[in-house]
Amino acid sequence: MSSGRIRTSGIAKRYQIVGNRDRAVQFNTLAEWIVKSLRGRARPETLWALRDVSFEVAAGEVIGIIGHNGAGKSTLLKIISLITEPTRGELEIVGRVGSLLDVGIGFHPELSGRENVFLNGAILGMRRSEITRKFDEIVAFAGTEAFLDTPVKHYSSGMYMRLAFAVAAHLDPEILIVDEVLAVGDAAFQKKCLGKMGDVAKQGRTVLFVSHNLGAVRSLCTRGIVLSGGAMQFDGAVDEAIARYLSSAADRGAQDGQVTFGSGGLAFDDLAVLSVRLRNQAGEVRALFDAMEPIAIDIEYEVTARLRGARTVIALVTSEGEVAFQSTDQQTRDAEQRPGRYRTSCTIPGALLNGRMYVVEIGFDVPSGRMLAPTRPYLSFVVAGAADNGAALWPGIVNPQLRWATQPA
């Protein structure tokens, strides 16, 4: 399998801010343009989404790109995918690029599953003969054989996502660019997708992978690039990249044990996260806890569309990016949620965690349906001491207090 390479040098991208929207143009209407031309133009407000990004990707490398929302990850992927051109700098790509910035691009609700496979495949750059050859494999991967001639508007959202991902997963480019698409479907399907991604990486293909799912980044990638404020903060081994990223994520929340998002919250498609707070037993917001005391994680969010069966997922991750555990409120929340503000609380019992730093990752989804807000780190906290060993740190991600008994046998 031949694989491609990428070289970027001094890539920068500037957006002009027009009426709260980032667009590359200054005017929205002809009338506005005439008025402004007559008045003499005011300097538009600009924003550098990327500044001076330079790196090289050798053939067969699998690179993870991580960073906070707004760090420039998507802009970088768009430039490398040739979707938009940089304002400055140079980009060289050797090999065919397949970019999966979304699944189901171009899917039309009125068309059947079969028609959409061919449509979507062609949009992703596959030849008709290639799609014909892989057609059975694609359909089998998605598990939608029985509904091939049904318009996809009658598909469940899970089926729709599976078919959409199946086409993308059978793309065969020399360079694969993936943005967060693994965050679709139920856990079983996600696992299948991750497996497929792993196969792709093992085939020696060049892969650029953007995700908030640090576990996936760690298991797939060998090298990591950390973006922050549009600039490259780190480029090196993936473990170190994750550690850097998490420590900067921690910087933002560790001091006070809370993050709040102004003006409408951190908005996703159908909900917006307003704030996340860590509280001790007395209800005080803290970032430092004793190993014996329970920790409550309070998430405030606003639902903007009617949701059914949505769940919140919390993952506790160590500063090295290893997942300590994941938990969800699926069993307790099956009802419909009307638009409005909600507070979801989760309590981690005392005498469970080890004496170290933990990062709280939160995501929202509909099981076997769609992702509402991808899992990403919000804040971190430190546990002082260890449950049954006083001050010294024991090895292990957790240090639960277990029941011991010794009796003469």
The strand order across the sheet containing 175-179 reads 97-100, 175-179, 206-210, 62-67, 223-228, 231-237
Residue in 193, 212, 187 with CA at minimum distance from that of residue 369: 187
Ranges within 248-267 binding other proteins (CB under 8 A):
none
Quick one: which segment of 99-107, 136-144, 333-341, 390-398 binds other proteins (CB under 8 A)? 99-107
Cβ-based nearer residue to other proteins, 71 or 164: 164
Tell me if 268 contacts other proteins by CB under 8 A: no
Q: How many residues does the chain have?
A: 409
Q: Select from 19, 20, 29, 149 the one that contacts other proteins (CB under 8 A).
A: 29
Tell me if 336 contacts other proteins by CB under 8 A: no
Quick one: which segment of 4-12, 265-273, 284-292, 330-338 binds other proteins (CB under 8 A)? 4-12
Tell me if 137 contacts other proteins by CB under 8 A: no
**Rounded Cα gap, residues 161 and 169, in angstroms:** 12
**Rounded Cα gap, residues 107 and 297, in angstroms:** 39
User: Whole-number minimum distance, CB 18 to other proteins, in Å?
Assistant: 10
Q: Determine contact, residues 366/157, Cβ cutoff 8 Å.
A: yes
**Residues with Cβ < 8 Å from 254, sequence gap 6 or more?**
287, 357, 379, 380, 381, 382
Cβ-based nearer residue to other proteins, 154 or 338: 154
Tell me if 58 contacts other proteins by CB under 8 A: no
Tell me if 1 contacts other proteins by CB under 8 A: no
Q: Select from 55, 70, 114, 119 the one that contacts other proteins (CB under 8 A).
A: 119
Cβ-based nearer residue to other proteins, 127 or 133: 127
Tell me if 30 contacts other proteins by CB under 8 A: yes
C-alpha radius of gyration, the chain, whole number: 24
Ranges within 74-93 binding other proteins (CB under 8 A):
78-79, 81-93
Cβ-based nearer residue to other proteins, 13 or 279: 13
**Residues with Cβ < 8 Å from 11, sequence gap 6 or more?**
50, 52, 53, 54, 76, 79, 86, 88, 89, 90, 91
Provide the total of helices (H) and of strands (E) in the chain, helices listed first. 8, 22
The strand order across the sheet containing 311-318 reads 288-290, 371-384, 357-365, 311-318, 323-328
Q: Which two three-digit tokens encode residue 178?
A: 């993936």
User: Whole-number minimum distance, CB 25 to other proteins, in Å?
Assistant: 5
Q: How many residues touch other proteins (CB under 8 A)?
A: 53
Quick one: which segment of 122-130, 211-219, 234-242, 318-326 binds other proteins (CB under 8 A)? 122-130
Site string for other proteins, 8-27 (x = CB under 8 A): ---xx--x------xxxx-x
For residue 65, the one-letter residue type is I
Residue 262 sits at the vertex; the CA angle it makes with 102 and 182, to the nearest 5 degrees, is: 20
Cβ-based nearer residue to other proteins, 92 or 256: 92
What are the backbone angles phi and psi of residue 391, rounded to the nearest 5°? -85, -30
Rule CB under 8 A: which residues touch other proteins? 2, 4, 11-12, 15, 22-25, 27-31, 33, 59, 78-79, 81-97, 99, 101-102, 105-106, 108, 110-111, 115, 118-119, 122-125, 127-128, 174
